[in-house]
Structure 1
Amino acid sequence: MAATPSRLGWLDALRGPAALAVALHHSAWTFIPGVWGAVDGRIDVGTWGVFVFFMVSGYIIPASLERRGDVRAFWIGRAFRLLPLLLTAIVLALLLGCLGVFDLHPGLGLRPVPVVVLGNVTMLQELLGVPAVVNVMWTLSYEMAFYLLTVGLFAVRQARRSAAVAVALALAAVPLGILLPKALISGRADLLAVLLGGATLVAIVVTAWASGLKRRVAALSGGVLALVLVVLGSRIGAWQGLIILAVMFAGTAVHRAEQGTIRWRTAIGVVLTVLACGIFAKDDPGWAPALLLAVAFFFAAFALRHRRFPPVVTHLGVISFSLYLLHPLLLRPSPNLPLFFLVLVPLGLLTYHLIEAPAQRLGRRAAARARTPLST
């Protein structure tokens, strides 16, 4: 089957390898820890994969919002894109945990069920100090923070300032990371988690369903809450948390340069500033190479964006969310590394066609019916 040329097909060519890299990272530590320890000491392949995802999100998410011009349609689209598979993965994880073939976070049983549900269903658990049902969900918390910031900037007509935002976040990451090396929202802070998580959820709902000034205030409030959560609640620390956001906004700057709204030298300067501030964010020899190579891989694919990519690569990109979210569930049931991947890819295809694709179609129809411009 020949590859189908697509303006955004190169993004799928990035997502597929990124998802497999994260799956390889976790499965290799499970099945061949001795060998993988030597690899991980040189480059953290899992970190490489997630930073590729972050660059892709930064490039495409603001473009998607601005193309719609409608925050309600945006949030509806995101909900149908992420929640059906996420809820499926959570239910499967709980079932497998009960059967003893999946290791649930020990802290889950120590927190009130409503707090765990709020944290995991809003995908903000990483920033609220709430254990994740599936460990790889931590990246979704930063994706949500980025969505909230993007919508907030869009609401106050500052979306085009992504380059400045990326630089500001990167420069702030260093001193804040030194001053706040640990999350302040953590442990058993149930009431604080409910208040912050509930306030963020209310901000999203009001942004999506209110109009005029209320919508703008809610969108801006959501962006401010997202920034507060990343600074105070990042389990990995404010330095790494803010660098993740800066990397995503650097991806947006690349999109701006491609569209001609900023100069290429500005976009390159943004990326270099983010890298300079980010390479020392984690005291791990595999961190900096992973970050640098992720950005290099993104730019390599970007340079080839008008070329045809092999169908197998783009198809893996289409099912990348399934591969990413479901692979931890297979680690204990799988007897070895090859069989792990032989099961993972067909499972990803199955869940994409049975859950993701139908939900996305429903989401597009729901978003089209609910479309309302920001000015209303």
Structure 2
Amino acid sequence: MFLAPARLAWLDALRGPAALAVTMHHAGWTFLPGVWAEVDRRIDLGTWGVFVFFLVSGYIIPASLERRGDLRAFWTGRAFRLLPLLLAACGLALLLAYAGVLPLPPGLAERPWPVVALGNLTMSQELLNLPAVISVTWTLSYEMAFYLMCVALFSVRQAHRSAGVAVALALTAVPLGLLLPKAVIGGRADLAAALLGLAVVAAVAVTALGRGRTRTVAALAGGLLGLALVVLGSRGGTWQGVIILATMFAGTAVHRAEQGAISWRAAGVAVAAVLGCGIFAKDDPAWAPAIVLAFGVFAGAYALRRRAFPRWLSYLGVISFSLYLLHPILLHVLPDLATFLLALVPLSMLTYHLIESPAQRLGRRLTRP
């Protein structure tokens, strides 16, 4: 059995199964709805998968930002990591939709295409109540809000307060969720969506290219904007949206404790607060087991982080973004579950080596000191 280096292999060993859990959740409902209904009423594997992703992002993204120590390099790295495959997958989905192979995303034809494109390219469409070209990209909107908040905390030298932020978000998620059970940013508010999308672009651009006080003000504005979008625009309700943010900051708190920046007690309080407030965020019996299992699996993988992991398992994590983005397209193209499973991994390997990996190398060259 080939083994992968242990330093970061444990993160990839989490990403791979998480991506496969999401794909199996959607494939089960597509190809085996009767069987999958029995699974899904006990534990929502899709929710488990995305919460593992959120914990991994929380752990690694602030570390990446602080390792670079350069906001321009951070945003450039994120852009070359996410946008090339996102653009390719969205382009393919639209081509197949207009060819009649895929169904057109709900609401896409009724909204102005420049506004929809802006929302999807800024990865904020979920929080702006805009149609997603690929349905699963809703998670990227929360990732984007998290990036904006991390950059804001970094800019004012408060990044070490991630445990406190996680606790504050978790505790406020409950009353905010009761007050705002549905998204305030709703309906066909095209002008508002366009202005908010442009505000996201401006915050990123000025933070990446500006200097001194201008950069700091832009970073703070971006962080507040990211938080506001989650509070006001979460389609699943404010409680769920804020808990997602809190989950990512809980992952950051684990990283801080590992580095000795905060105590393990503080990190434990953050994790406990997020779990305690998060398990009731959705009135679904399959929700709480999924969240608890996600935190438990993350803790187990962290405990084994110095061990070697099978190389194939880590490789699944390397291609997990391709697995995640491409599987909704294949579900509509392929006729059965067996064909879907046989095609997904090879296609994801191909897109990783032809699109993701070259783009990441280019991003690293552009940000090299």
Do the two structures share a fold, i.e. TM-score over 0.5? yes
1:199-226: CA deviation from partner (whole Å, max 9, x where unpaired): 1110110000010000000000000000
Q: CA deviation at 1:7?
A: 1.0
Q: Which residue of 2 aligns with 1:29?
A: 29
Structure-2 separation of matches of 1:260 and 1:320: 30
Q: CA deviation at 1:184?
A: 1.0
Q: Which residue of 2 aligns with 1:228?
A: 228
Structure-2 separation of matches of 1:59 and 1:121: 24
After the TM superposition, list the runs of 4 or more consecutive aligned residues in structure 1 that deviate by more than 3 angstroms. none
1:248-278: CA deviation from partner (whole Å, max 9, x where unpaired): 0000000011111111121111101100000
Structure-1 separation of matches of 2:191 and 2:264: 46
Structure-2 separation of matches of 1:192 and 1:49: 32
Q: CA deviation at 1:4?
A: 2.8
**TM-score, L = length of structure 1:** 0.97
Q: Which residue of 2 aligns with 1:297?
A: 297
Determine if contact 1:119/1:125 at 8 Å carries over to the other structure.
yes
Tell me if 1:258 matches 2:258.
yes
Of stretches 259-268 and 164-173 in structure 1, the one that deviates more from structure 2 is: 259-268
Matching of residues 235-246 of structure 1 within 5 Å? 235-246=235-246
1:325-362: CA deviation from partner (whole Å, max 9, x where unpaired): 11000012212112111100000000000000000000
Q: Which residue of 1 aligns with 2:281?
A: 281
Structure-2 separation of matches of 1:368 and 1:309: 30
Structure-1 separation of matches of 2:330 and 2:271: 36
Match of 1:107, SS state, is: coil
Structure-2 separation of matches of 1:368 and 1:6: 25
Q: Which residue of 1 aligns with 2:315?
A: 315
Determine if contact 1:104/1:134 at 8 Å carries over to the other structure.
no
Structure-1 separation of matches of 2:6 and 2:360: 19
Match of 2:107, SS state, is: helix
1:102-121: CA deviation from partner (whole Å, max 9, x where unpaired): 22222000000111011000
Q: Which residue of 1 aligns with 2:84?
A: 84
Determine if contact 1:230/1:238 at 8 Å carries over to the other structure.
yes
Of stretches 125-134 and 331-340 in structure 1, the one that deviates more from structure 2 is: 331-340
Structure-2 separation of matches of 1:228 and 1:193: 13
**TM-score, L = length of structure 2:** 0.99
Tell me if 1:7 matches 2:7.
yes
Q: Which residue of 1 aligns with 2:56?
A: 56
Q: Percent identity?
A: 70
Q: Which residue of 2 aligns with 1:131?
A: 131
Of stretches 117-126 and 360-369 in structure 1, the one that deviates more from structure 2 is: 360-369
Q: CA deviation at 1:95?
A: 1.1
Structure-2 separation of matches of 1:106 and 1:41: 26
Q: Which runs of 5+ in 2 are unaligned?
A: none
Q: Which residue of 2 aligns with 1:219?
A: 219
* Letter paired with 1:138: W
Q: Which residue of 2 aligns with 1:68?
A: 68
Q: CA deviation at 1:86?
A: 0.1
Q: Which residue of 1 aligns with 2:336?
A: 336
Q: Which residue of 1 aligns with 2:354?
A: 354
* Letter paired with 2:179: L
Q: Which residue of 2 aligns with 1:374?
A: none
Determine if contact 2:2/2:312 at 8 Å carries over to the other structure.
no
* Letter paired with 1:339: T
